[in-house]
């Protein structure tokens, strides 16, 4: 197993990907024809389960896009299932302390480095050497989305085995009592603080674009793991643009 995305991030390279939430393989297959670096299959805020995710991942097989899964919680069982599906890494939500970060990392590692159960099924079909290489190649991304996590950013991001962080601006703004106000100066200061901590520690930085800045602006700032959006947004925006080009006024509720 060779996870080129992980080592690109470690080298400081910038990458762009999207969230997959629509539970049909036609979607991941179609979007995988575009030059994205990675897909995140979202098991936290979408209908995707292990079986659906595997089917969507199979639809993009043969592309250079790296499949990742955002698990629903920092739970070793959920992380194990995600990795056994064939994901090259996980995004773990609600990491608020060093202990949370250690828990996430250990769930991604086989013994003696961690507690991941050893029951290869699909992964061994993808790579006969998977058991030898997984501990080295699996990408661990922790999600920073609360005030507590911002305050403890240094202890979280200095945890051995954490490769990158991803900021959830909407949850972060809510945690700060500013629900949805992702452009609020207080929220942007918190985002920038975590970014600077990550840069100091050599941990790759990730964020959802459109949360106060465009993809172009975040690239210019030096962010490395950039989410352009999600499949459902692209579907809606494409339909909206087609209607507007036809002269139909679309009201945004």
Active site residues: 45
Query: E strands along the chain, which residues?
Result: 15-20, 38-42, 66-70, 89-92, 139-144, 164-167, 204-208, 225-230
d(CA 196, CA 199): 5
DSSP 128-148: TTHHHHHHHH-EEEEEE-SHH
Record the tokens describing residue 181, joined without a space: 């106000």
The span from the first CA to the last CA of the chain, in angstroms, equals 46
CA–CA gap between residue 110 and residue 90 (Å, rounded) = 15
């Amino acid at each position: 197993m060779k996870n080129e995305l992980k080592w690109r991030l470690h080298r400081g390279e910038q990458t762009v990907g999207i969230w997959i939430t629509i539970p049909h393989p036609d979607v991941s297959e179609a979007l995988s024809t575009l030059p994205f670096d990675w897909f995140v299959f979202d098991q936290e805020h979408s209908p995707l389960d292990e079986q659906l995710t595997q089917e969507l991942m199979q639809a993009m097989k043969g592309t250079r896009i790296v499949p990742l899964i955002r698990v629903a919680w920092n739970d070793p069982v959920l992380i194990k299932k995600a990795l056994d599906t064939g994901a090259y890494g996980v995004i773990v939500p609600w990491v608020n302390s060093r202990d949370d970060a250690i828990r996430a990392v250990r769930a991604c590692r086989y013994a003696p480095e961690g507690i991941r159960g050893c029951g290869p099924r699909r992964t061994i079909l993808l790579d006969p050497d998977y058991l030898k290489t997984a501990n080295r190649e699996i990408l661990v991304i922790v999600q920073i989305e609360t005030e507590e996590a911002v305050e403890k950013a240094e202890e979280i991001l200095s945890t051995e085995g954490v490769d990158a962080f991803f900021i959830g601006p909407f949850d972060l703004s809510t945690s700060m009592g500013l629900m949805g106000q992702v452009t609020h100066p207080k929220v942007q200061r918190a985002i920038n603080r975590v970014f600077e901590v990550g840069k100091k520690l050599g941990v790759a930085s990730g964020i959802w674009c459109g949360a106060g800045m465009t993809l172009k602006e975040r690239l210019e700032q030096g962010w490395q793991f950039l989410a352009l959006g999600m499949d459902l947004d692209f579907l809606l925006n494409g339909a909206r643009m087609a209607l507007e080009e036809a002269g139909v006024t679309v009201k945004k509720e």
